[in-house]
Amino acid sequence: MNLKETYAKVDSILDTLDFGALLEGFHKYRFAVYNSREICLDGKLIPYEDSFRGNTSLLYSGEYIAVWDIEFSPMEDMEKLAYLLVHEMFHCHQFSNGEARFPSDFALLRYPSDPDNFTKKYNENRYLADACEHGDVSKLQKFAALRAQRLSAYPEMVAQELRAETIEGMAEFIGLKALQAINREKYASQVRDCIGKLREESGLLFDVRRISYYTGVVFFLSLDALGRKIENDFRSTLTVYEQNLVDTRGVTVQMRPYDFIGEKYTALLAEKEAKIAGHMAHALYVPCNAFICGYDPMNMFRVRDMVYCSHFVCLDENGRTKAINNAVLLVLAEGSEREVCGYYI
């Protein structure tokens, strides 16, 4: 299927949706599907432009549009692609409404490696999964009680999680509500998949930004199933989680140990070290004085003062943007999150 056909099929599906019913004030935003050669926007083909990167929302000719890279993320199911584009359109809506509760992707790269934190987080995730699957208020309260413990122990980092849930979890929730209107069976399957992600004994647990898609959307689905109106004031500094607190008074919670957490985390660290060593062994070191100005947060990780970007990164060198469109290992200046003193390519 070519770009114009893909665009036309998705556009016809999106035209069946009542965006205002998904969220008051929400509306259909312009969107584009593209590959490395062409972009289809408003049903018309134009040459590829370098500002189109990844699956996201971007400011284009003065307005926010949703974009999807068909080449990097191919989709055969047009109904699912429509729901994914609603997710991206909600990002457009967030930007248009002055959303400022974004997580710091670079702070999340320094997420603490304390096994106790991940043990609590996994127990937390399982309570949340049970709450959503069974509409169980008591499980939701236990989830919230454990989260309160982690927020007290790791306030800065858990705050970043809540911000990621606000941005990505809320966008996914709205996208799923769109899918529910498009195809209820596919919606139910997608919800089961989200719940399953929280129970997986996998490395996803340690990818805090990525798993926040799932914790966020499953929390919002749980509230929705219980008939609670989800508050999300874009002007507030409070995250969506904080605007929709669950009563935990008198709640007691038990925490189970899980052997896979230590095993998987040790293996993940070894894998990252091996990837860095392998990259450096076959790469040229280029010194520079730059800072990171564009990146793919879903495809990067940090080890000590090095950041590995598997897809692309953009560096600002003396006011000029340099795009690196392949795997690169950035060496950060000491104590910095974004200042780059060199890279291996």
* Residue given tokens 């109106």 in the structure block: 229
Single-letter amino acid, residue 301: F
Amino acid 297: pLDDT: 87
The 10s digit of each residue's pLDDT in 301-345 is 999 999 999 988 999 999 999 999 999 999 999 989 999 999 999
- In angstroms, the CA 133 to CA 145 distance is 19
Q: What's phi and psi for 87, nearest 5 deg?
A: -55, -50
- Mean pLDDT for 51-59 is 94
- Mean pLDDT for 93-101 is 97
The 10s digit of each residue's pLDDT in 19-36 is 999 999 999 999 999 999
| More reliable by pLDDT, 299 or 146 | 146
State the DSSP code for 202. Answer: S
3-state secondary structure 237-289: CCCHHHHCCCCCCCCCCCCCCCHHHHHHHHHHHHHHHHHHHHHHHCCCEEEEE
User: Which residues on neighbouring strands pair with residue 331, listed in sequence order?
Assistant: 306, 342
**What's the sign of the alpha-carbon dihedral 44, 49, 53, 58?**
negative
pLDDT band at 112 (very low <50, low <70, confident <90, very high): confident
Over 80: is that where the pLDDT of 298 sits?
A: yes
pLDDT band at 111 (very low <50, low <70, confident <90, very high): confident
- Mean pLDDT for 153-168 is 95
180: tokens are 């529910």
Amino acid 198: pLDDT: 98
- What number of CA atoms fall less than 13 Å from residue 10's CA on the CB side? 32
Amino acid 26: pLDDT: 98
Amino acid 311: pLDDT: 86
Phi-psi region of 146 (alpha: psi -120 to 50; beta: other; left: phi over 0): alpha
* Chain centre distance of CA 196: 17
Amino acid 272: pLDDT: 94
Amino acid 60: pLDDT: 97
Amino acid 232: pLDDT: 97
- In angstroms, the CA 105 to CA 297 distance is 6
**Which residue blocks in 154-207 are alpha helix, DSSP H?**
155-164, 170-182, 184-199
Over 80: is that where the pLDDT of 113 sits?
A: no
Amino acid 114: pLDDT: 83
Contact (CB, 8 A) for 169 and 224: no
pLDDT band at 1 (very low <50, low <70, confident <90, very high): confident
Single-letter amino acid, residue 56: T
